[in-house]
């Protein structure tokens, strides 16, 4: 494995394609290694990139800084793009991507926070990230750390898990203004969300923005548009066929 | 477990509430997460520390998720509810939101195996310690007396690892100090069988052993079990009496004594759902954990040596 000290140079070589492709495409291809990825990966890539490129106040040098923003990937099965973004931003060496899932790899099919620099939670079993995010937001607030924000990304199908609704209801009641949930809505929930995903949050006092999950500027505006004393949800709608 | 002590539930629970209230005032790292149970008792602490006394409502999965998140920010959460709701309902959150995140917390339950027997199966939790035993690195305390609770709670909160304190309505007549290493309460001399009583079953075990060649030792800390103390005290016959699922600690004792011939009898709460109400004392009797039941089981186990007893 490459030492973190060499990351910047390696990233410059590996990322930033000049042919108009997504900035992390070459890195994602290294993770993919010829395998087929589903909508769970591709639907999440744009929002992950906007978060790490334009929103989150965290760098490889500040992964332990109490004042850092936190990003929690709850839908851990979308991890391939996450690893690619982390590599693009210098949190992990790009050559870690080449052995993803191997016996000596730190990068599993779901992320482990103890193995991957910059990963805030281990996830995989659905319905855990939002509760952990609520606790993280409460912990920051209790310690007077009022500037960092907590971002947690879930899927629309993941919302089927009842634990999410415990967290949504309580976060609204508690007025967790330092919490932003991002729901990547690729219409994969088995029974759908009548009335739209956002209403499930707003009924509990959240503010909400529903945007095109492929539109970087719209995502950025929604992700940075939180205000007031309420938790915020950004529903990133993604057409799997697009 | 002495019958007089059913009312000691308030003693253990109140002891926990008082100590936790003090800890919240003493250490700004301490936080308390509740799911309505005991919330009224913590109202004064919540008024003083609204950001660190968090009642999430009847949401046990969230209770543990919040605890995990708090721990990830550097706080030391205490998490409290009835044992079945704390451990059984939220087991995956304990496994993933604490252990998998390398986060830790102190879990404190009330209700034990059948403290509220009249409430029925939903409020009984004989398997809580066995469930936590599927995880790694947990300290488990099963106090036998309300006076044991403050010291154990303070020690576990001061530590960095996860711990479970199992409070009960039942207790022994006397507390025993110490961190949980085996304490000899009755010494029957060389060659005697060793009976290890965990937590509030001690008094019943002592009564059961009267007149029998049995040394009785006590611990309120089944995890980590005092293996060195066991090896120092045990001969060839060992009896383990636990106030939760029978045999929960059998694997540890067997492993500890694997290099020497021995016989092991494990007594505790049975697996069968009895579908009976009544009081805790009734369930003690039905599970053979009252003095008469224990004596019968111990005497039968020792029959080759004590046939005349």
Using CA atoms, how far residue A146 sits from A52, B6, B32, B140, B181, in Å, is: 20, 46, 20, 36, 44
Instruction: Tell me which residues of chain B have a C-beta less than 8 Å from any C-beta of chain A.
Output: 28, 31, 51-52, 54, 56-57, 59, 61-62, 64-75, 92-93, 96-97, 100-102
The answer to whether A114 and A108 are in contact (CB under 8 A) is: no
Q: What is the DSSP code string of A18-58?
A: SSS--TTHHHHHHHHTT----HHHHHHHHHHHHIIIII---
Alpha helices in A143-242 (DSSP H): 162-174, 197-202, 216-223
Tell me the average pLDDT across A4-25: 57
Closest CA to B219 of B252, B267, B244, B183: B183
Q: How confident is the model at residue A228 (pLDDT cuts 50, 70, 90)?
A: confident
Cα gap A209→A236, rounded to integer Å: 9
Give the count of beta carbons closer than 10 Å to the beta carbon of residue A187: 14
Residue A180 located in a structural domain: yes
Average pLDDT, chain A: 91
Cα gap A87→B134, rounded to integer Å: 35
Which chain A residues touch B54 with a CB distance below 8 Å? 138
Residue A28 located in a structural domain: no
Residue A94 located in a structural domain: no
pLDDT for A2 equals: 42
B77-98 per-position pLDDT tens digit: 999 999 999 999 999 999 999 9
**What residues make up the domain containing A142?**
39-78+109-237
Q: How confident is the model at residue B6 (pLDDT cuts 50, 70, 90)?
A: very low
pLDDT for A34 equals: 87
pLDDT of A4 higher than 90: no
The answer to whether B65 and A167 are in contact (CB under 8 A) is: yes
A87-141 per-position pLDDT tens digit: 999 999 999 999 999 999 999 999 999 999 999 999 999 999 999 999 999 999 9
Q: How confident is the model at residue A18 (pLDDT cuts 50, 70, 90)?
A: low
pLDDT for A6 equals: 46
Which of the residue ranges A39-53, B207-221, B267-281 would you say has the lowest mean pLDDT? A39-53
Number of compact structural domains in chain A: 1
Classify burial at A152, counting beta carbons within 10 Å of its beta carbon; exposed 0-12, middle 13-18, buried 19 or more: buried
The answer to whether B135 and B94 are in contact (CB under 8 A) is: yes
Closest CA to B166 of B196, B129, B138: B129
pLDDT of A66 higher than 50: yes
Tell me the average pLDDT across B16-34: 98
Cα gap B133→B91, rounded to integer Å: 12
What's the farthest any 2 CA atoms get from each other in chain A?
Answer: 49
pLDDT of B67 higher than 80: yes
Across the interface, which of B28, B70, B102 has its CB nearest the CB of A135? B70
A 55-94 residues with CB below 8 A of B? 66
Residue A184 located in a structural domain: yes
Which chain A residues touch B91 with a CB distance below 8 Å? none
Residue A60 located in a structural domain: yes
Residue A198 located in a structural domain: yes
Cα gap A163→A232, rounded to integer Å: 18
Cα gap A60→A10, rounded to integer Å: 14
Cis bond leading into B66, ω under 30°? Answer: no
Using CA atoms, how far residue B197 sits from A151, B201, B304, in Å, is: 49, 6, 22
Tell me the average pLDDT across B1-14: 58
Across the interface, which of A66, A136, A167 has its CB nearest the CB of B62? A167
CB contact under 8 A, B65 and A113: no
Supply B159's token pair: 């530590």
Across the interface, which of A131, A162, A173 has its CB nearest the CB of B66? A131
CA atoms within 13 A on the CB side of B197: 31
In the block, which residue shows the tokens 């590599």? A87
In chain B, the percentage of residues whose pLDDT exceeds 70 is 95
CB contact under 8 A, B73 and A66: yes
Interface confidence, given as ipTM, is 0.94
Using CA atoms, how far residue B43 sits from A209, B19, B39, B40, B80, in Å, is: 37, 14, 6, 5, 14
The answer to whether B39 and B200 are in contact (CB under 8 A) is: no
User: Which CATH number characterizes residue A74's domain?
Assistant: 3.40.50.970
pLDDT of B37 higher than 60: yes
- Residue to mutate among B67, B73, B91, with most A CBs inside 10 A, is B73
Identify the structural domains of chain B with CATH numbers, from first to last.
3-166 (3.40.50.970), 183-303 (3.40.50.920)
For chains A and B, count residue pairs whose Cβ atoms are closer than 8 Å. 100
The answer to whether B261 and B238 are in contact (CB under 8 A) is: no
Residue A10 located in a structural domain: no
Q: What is the DSSP code string of A66-106?
A: TTS-EEEE--GGGHHHHHHHHHHTTSS-GGGGGGTTSTT-S
Q: Cα B180 to the chain's mean position, in Å?
A: 12
Handedness of CA A213, A216, A218, A222 (dihedral sign): positive
Q: Is A139 on the interface with B (CB under 8 A)?
A: yes
CB contact under 8 A, A169 and B73: no
Classify burial at A145, counting beta carbons within 10 Å of its beta carbon; exposed 0-12, middle 13-18, buried 19 or more: middle
B221-265 per-position pLDDT tens digit: 999 999 999 999 999 999 999 999 999 999 999 999 999 999 999
Residue A154 located in a structural domain: yes
Strand partners, B217: B184, B196
Which chain A residues touch B71 with a CB distance below 8 Å? 135, 139
The answer to whether B165 and B107 are in contact (CB under 8 A) is: yes
A 103-122 residues with CB below 8 A of B? 112-114, 120-122
In chain B, the percentage of residues whose pLDDT exceeds 90 is 94
B255-301 per-position pLDDT tens digit: 999 999 999 999 999 999 999 999 999 999 999 999 999 999 999 99
Which chain A residues touch B31 with a CB distance below 8 Å? 139, 142
Q: How confident is the model at residue A12 (pLDDT cuts 50, 70, 90)?
A: very low
Chain B residue nearest residue A72, CA to CA: B69
Residues in chain B: 309
Q: How confident is the model at residue A42 (pLDDT cuts 50, 70, 90)?
A: confident
pLDDT for A20 equals: 61
CB contact under 8 A, B65 and A137: no
Closest CA to B183 of B156, B215, B150, B205: B215
pLDDT of A200 higher than 50: yes
Tell me the average pLDDT across B123-141: 97
Across the interface, which of B28, B65, B93 has its CB nearest the CB of A134? B65
């Amino acid at each position: 494995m490459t030492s973190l000290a060499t990351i910047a140079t390696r990233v410059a070589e590996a990322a930033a394609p000049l042919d108009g492709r997504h900035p992390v495409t070459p890195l994602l291809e290294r993770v993919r290694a010829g395998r087929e990825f589903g909508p769970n990966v591709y639907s999440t890539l744009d929002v992950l990139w906007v978060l790490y490129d334009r929103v989150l106040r965290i760098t490889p040098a500040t992964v332990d800084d109490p004042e850092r923003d936190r990003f929690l990937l709850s839908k851990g099965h979308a991890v391939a793009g996450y690893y690619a973004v982390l590599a693009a931003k210098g949190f992990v060496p790009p050559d870690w991507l080449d052995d993803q899932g191997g016996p000596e790899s730190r990068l599993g099919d779901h992320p482990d926070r103890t193995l991957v620099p910059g990963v805030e939670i281990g996830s995989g079993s659905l319905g855990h990230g939002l509760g952990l995010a609520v606790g993280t937001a409460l912990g920051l607030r209790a310690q007077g750390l009022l500037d960092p924000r907590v971002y947690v990304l879930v899927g629309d199908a993941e919302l089927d898990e009842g634990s999410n609704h415990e967290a949504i209801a309580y976060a609204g009641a508690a007025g967790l203004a330092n919490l932003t949930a991002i729901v990547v809505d690729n219409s994969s929930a088995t029974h759908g969300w009548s009335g739209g995903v956002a209403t499930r949050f707003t009924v509990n006092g959240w503010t909400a923005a529903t945007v095109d999950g492929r539109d970087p500027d719209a995502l950025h505006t929604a992700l940075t548009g939180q205000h007031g004393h309420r938790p915020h949800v950004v529903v990133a709608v993604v057409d799997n066929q697009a | 477990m002495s019958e007089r002590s059913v009312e000691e539930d308030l003693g253990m629970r109140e002891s926990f509430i008082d100590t936790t209230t003090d800890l919240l005032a003493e250490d700004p790292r301490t936080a308390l997460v509740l799911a309505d149970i005991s919330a009224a008792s913590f109202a004064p602490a919540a008024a003083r520390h609204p950001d660190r006394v968090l009642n999430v409502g009847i949401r046990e999965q969230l209770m543990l998720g919040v605890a995990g998140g708090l721990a990830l920010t550097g706080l030391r959460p205490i998490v409290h509810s009835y044992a079945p709701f704390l451990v059984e309902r939220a087991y995956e959150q304990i496994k993933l939101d604490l252990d998998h995140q390398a986060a830790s917390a102190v879990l404190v339950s009330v209700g034990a195996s059948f403290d509220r027997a009249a409430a029925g199966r939903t409020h009984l939790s004989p398997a809580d310690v066995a469930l936590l035993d599927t995880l790694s690195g947990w300290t488990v305390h099963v106090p036998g007396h309300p006076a044991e609770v403050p010291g154990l709670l303070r020690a576990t909160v001061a530590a960095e690892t996860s711990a479970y304190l199992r409070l009960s309505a039942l207790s022994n007549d006397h507390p025993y100090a110490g961190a949980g290493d085996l304490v000899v309460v009755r010494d029957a001399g060389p060659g005697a069988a060793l009976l290890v009583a965990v937590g509030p079953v001690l008094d019943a075990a002592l009564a059961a052993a009267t007149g029998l060649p049995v040394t009785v030792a006590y611990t309120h800390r089944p995890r980590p079990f005092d293996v060195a103390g066991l090896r120092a005290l045990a001969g060839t016959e060992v009896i383990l009496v636990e106030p939760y699922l029978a045999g929960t600690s059998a694997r540890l004792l067997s492993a500890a004594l694997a290099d020497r011939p021995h016989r092991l009898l494990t007594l505790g709460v049975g697996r069968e759902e009895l579908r009976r109400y009544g009081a805790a004392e009734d369930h003690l009797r039905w599970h053979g954990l009252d003095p008469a039941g224990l004596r019968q089981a111990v005497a039968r186990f020792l029959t080759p040596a004590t046939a005349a007893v």
